[in-house]
Structure 1
Amino acid sequence: MQETRLQRHVRAPWRGLALWLLSIPAMLVGLWFITVISMITSFVGVLLFPSATMLLRERLDAYRVRLNRWTDVRIARPYLPEPEKEPGVHGVFKRFIALISDPATWRDYLWVVSDPFVAVFTAALPGLLILYGVWGYAVAIFAGDMIGHYGGSDWYAYVHVTEGYGRDTGRILSTVAVATACIAAGYLIGPWMLSFYGEWGRAILGPTKKSELALRVQHLTETRSEAVDASAAELRRIERDLHDGAQARLVAMGMSLGAIEHLLDKDPEKARILLAETRASSAKALHELRDLVRGIHPPVLADRGIGDAVRALALDHPLDVEVSADLPARPEPPVESAAYFAVSEILTNAAKHSGASRVWVDLRYADGMLRISVTDDGRGGANLEGGSGLRGIERRIGTFDGVLAISSPPGGPTIVTMELPCALSSPKISPS
């Protein structure tokens, strides 16, 4: 749920303090990391370095998760792909070299060394101001006399705290005024300080150009491999459907026509019966071929675009499906096809597993993204690990750098959202 401005101002100071407190365990991990570095000249240091690096990364992932959740910045994991694990000493040294040569490893250490000092003047500052203001109220109400009596600091900001403080109305009012100003300033600047801290986090904890390129290459390699595997599986399915369906019927029709040719003169009545059966087989073969073509690329998708194609899906769906499409033009054909089959799979899952009675499909294009959300009023509980085909959808749209997000709390509703980057072409008008 989107936070209101008031909620952001109330929560930001305490979130900043929480981020500052994270520096305590992070500093301990950093001390262990630098201790391992000091042993790097021995084989013990080489053996311990990967585990120390992974521990450091785990701690800094806690920062990334919170900054992504609490600020407007988005920080991806910046680490270069690790080599495949190999047994023996060679594998140990290979992993050690990969980790120690990753710039993100040393940026992580820079973070744990510098962050406690940066955070206290950015993210934690609003919370500290509020706490200082609360202390000011305590001084004004009951602690002023005790401070001087027990030899403590006798100043609160610019107000001099002395014995007999409780009877000095002017100093009490001055203390309350300063304390109130500190609290108000803390809540006022909280979101801005947290955002500034988020930018600092992105600068140090985010990926460098080198790691972005390496991660991009890795992603493209994985999606290309998945696309090749999916295409091979699709070709095998088409071959199997042709072999077991239309091809078998066509072979049978050929044999029937051969028999009819011999029966025309001897037994015309039986030839007429075989002709009727052959005609029925040809109709079934044509129907199977149409179903096969529809499964490869539906004609309505080619002629009318994804909006009308999804509406056609909705008409044939057992549930009550409402489709809303606001597309100024048509996406690129490969993206359109991937999006269509993804929606088709999600609707199938909704009918099989959700227990829903209604489904809403919304298609929009904005900021270079085709955004599709499918919402049902079912029982919820869907996830990528549930074996419901969502992982396959994620792989399918991942080929186009698309992303898939699922919100499905127990009891519902289930919302599946997809975003695919694409350009729009001119709308294609079907022939009359």
Structure 2
Amino acid sequence: MNGIIGRRVRDALLAAARGMLLSLLSLGISLLLFILFLVSLSLVLIGIGLFTTPVVMDAVRTHANQRRFLAGVWAGLTIPAGYRPYPGRAARPGIAGQVEHCVHLLKDPTTWRDFQWLFVDAVAGLVLALLPWALIGYFLFGLVLVAGVWQAIVDAGGTYWFAFVPVHDWTTAFLAALTGVGFALLALFVNPPLIRLHFLLARVLIGASEKELLAQRVARLTETRHDALDDSAAELRRIERDLHDGAQARLVAMGMSLGAVEALMEKDPAQARRLLAQARANSAEALAELRDLVRGIHPPVLAERGLGDAARALALRTRLPVEVDVDLPGRLDEAVETAAYFAISEVLTNAAKHSSAERAWLDVYYSRGDRSLRIAITDNGRGGANPGAGSGLRGLERRLGSFDGVLAVSSPVGGPTLVTIEIPCSLTPAR
């Protein structure tokens, strides 16, 4: 029983503290951004708003995303964003690009949904955030009143209303204190639900619908499908070039050497033996190149033993010392394993070439909760990796998008660098 009461008191006080922060965000930031958005819209007609509106909207989206984050951490609620991707100011330079950028933002339905939420959050959201700590505050102030402070207040201004209790003597002061105790008891039961209701209100207003999320996913898959086709065509051209310049050339040279051996077999046996030795060396080199080429298309260890052992083998071949931790109680789809393998290879290669790291860590595991493969690659290098700077990470991000996968990079200057990959997939249990 004491444990239950203690937990309720703790949850009520925690909700009151969170409500205080949320009330500051609702009254301070939401109301300010609402006013700035209105002013910026009014300036669009004279051209100034074309420059100010994107800035204000970036601030609004940051504010809304912060509330989404708090909803997940404090209330366990997921509020999907649903923002349409936009090319940004760099799509077209100058005034034309700025106009396109602003128009794109204003055409996005989530822009107006955020705008409505700012007003509601500054009013209804503020009330829901105020109540949890106001109930606790009334309880504490009731104790202060009954301690004798009521006399000074009444002497200075007459009857003082404590909520709905008029305080003018000791009896009403004690009644106010009892009312404060009642508020405290009420807070034990309503404070956490009030905070959750605050975030539920936000989810109704700024949460993307299933239709919008599905449209986003279809658009993303359409874009990544084109990228996957381009990558496949480029990979076929690379294989053709490697075969033409490598193994094919060596096989042609080997055929010419064998033809010369036939002609020299009786006239010059010593020269024939030398040509045979050269042909044998060419055949060994051609075989090695073909094996490397096949390994680059689909490593045999990946097909035979799965992603876990293939990742360990890949770590052993990396110039950088890599510590590997794998938890895969089964096999994944072949396409997913291949994509994950080459993603790991790309990241480890980048770490070995560009990070100046001394060590790297690779974690591969399957999350049964959300049915997804999770990969984390960390190195202690100099950091500064940026997927948007045209590096191989950008291409890797597009390839993973074909599987609805997500790539996230955290690489502050000075390091460390953390690359996380998440791919939704099913798992076939190991036999």
Superposition TM-score, scaled by structure 2 size? 0.79
Indicate which of 351, 370, 373 corresponds to 1:371. Answer: 373
Match of 1:40 in 2: none
Match of 2:132 in 1: 126
SS in 2 for 1:71: helix
For each residue in 1:300-359, what CA deviation from the matched residue of structure 2 results, as whole angstroms up to 9, or x when unmatched? 11222212222322343452533322233x222111110111122233344442634462
Amino acid at match of 1:148: V
Name the CA distance, whole Å, in 2 between partners of 1:191 and 1:34.
37
Change (3 A) 1:309 1:51: same
Contact in 2 for aligned 1:407/1:415 (Cα 8 Å): yes
SS in 2 for 1:374: strand
Alpha-carbon offset, residue 283 of structure 1: 0.4
Indicate which of 413, 421, 425 corresponds to 1:422. Answer: 425
Alpha-carbon offset, residue 141 of structure 1: 5.3
**What is the root-mean-square deviation in Å for CA atoms of aligned residues?**
3.9
Change (3 A) 1:90 1:286: closer
SS in 2 for 1:393: helix
Matches within 5 A, 1:81-160: 102-136=108-142, 139-140=145-146, 143-151=149-157, 154-160=160-166
Name the CA distance, whole Å, in 1 between partners of 2:418 and 2:328.
19
Contact in 2 for aligned 1:372/1:419 (Cα 8 Å): yes
Name the CA distance, whole Å, in 2 between partners of 1:313 and 1:96.
47
Amino acid at match of 1:78: G
Match of 1:70 in 2: 70
For each residue in 1:389-427, what CA deviation from the matched residue of structure 2 results, as whole angstroms up to 9, or x when unmatched? 443432221221111234556787654332111233576
Matches within 5 A, 1:349-428: 349-352=350-353, 353=355, 355-357=357-359, 359-367=361-369, 369-376=371-378, 378-379=380-381, 381=383, 383-385=385-387, 389-407=392-410, 414-425=417-428
Match of 1:25 in 2: 32
Contact in 2 for aligned 1:64/1:75 (Cα 8 Å): no
Comparing 21-30 and 375-384, the one that deviates more: 375-384
Contact in 1 for aligned 2:54/2:102 (Cα 8 Å): no
Alpha-carbon offset, residue 183 of structure 1: 5.9
Matches within 5 A, 1:151-300: 151=157, 154-162=160-168, 168=170, 172-179=173-180, 182=183, 189-209=190-210, 211-300=212-301
SS in 1 for 2:363: strand
Match of 1:16 in 2: 22
Contact in 2 for aligned 1:310/1:323 (Cα 8 Å): no
Comparing 88-97 and 267-276, the one that deviates more: 88-97
Amino acid at match of 1:295: G
For each residue in 1:210-247, what CA deviation from the matched residue of structure 2 results, as whole angstroms up to 9, or x when unmatched? 54344234312331232233223323332332233212
Name the CA distance, whole Å, in 2 between partners of 1:339 and 1:81.
25
SS in 2 for 1:401: coil
- Structure 2 unaligned regions, length at least 5: 1-6
Name the CA distance, whole Å, in 2 between partners of 1:31 and 1:139.
44
Change (3 A) 1:59 1:415: closer
Change (3 A) 1:71 1:188: farther
Name the CA distance, whole Å, in 2 between partners of 1:378 and 1:285.
38
Comparing 383-392 and 240-249, the one that deviates more: 383-392
Contact in 2 for aligned 1:32/1:52 (Cα 8 Å): no
Contact in 1 for aligned 2:381/2:416 (Cα 8 Å): yes
- Structure 1 unaligned regions, length at least 5: 37-43
Alpha-carbon offset, residue 187 of structure 1: 7.6
Amino acid at match of 1:399: S
Name the CA distance, whole Å, in 2 between partners of 1:326 and 1:10.
43
Q: 1 or 2, which has the higher helix percentage?
A: 2
Contact in 2 for aligned 1:408/1:415 (Cα 8 Å): yes
Name the CA distance, whole Å, in 2 between partners of 1:70 and 1:171.
41
Amino acid at match of 2:58: E
Change (3 A) 1:248 1:210: same
Alpha-carbon offset, residue 294 of structure 1: 0.4
Contact in 2 for aligned 1:327/1:365 (Cα 8 Å): no
SS in 1 for 2:157: coil
Alpha-carbon offset, residue 291 of structure 1: 0.5
Superposition TM-score, scaled by structure 1 size? 0.79
Aligned length: 412
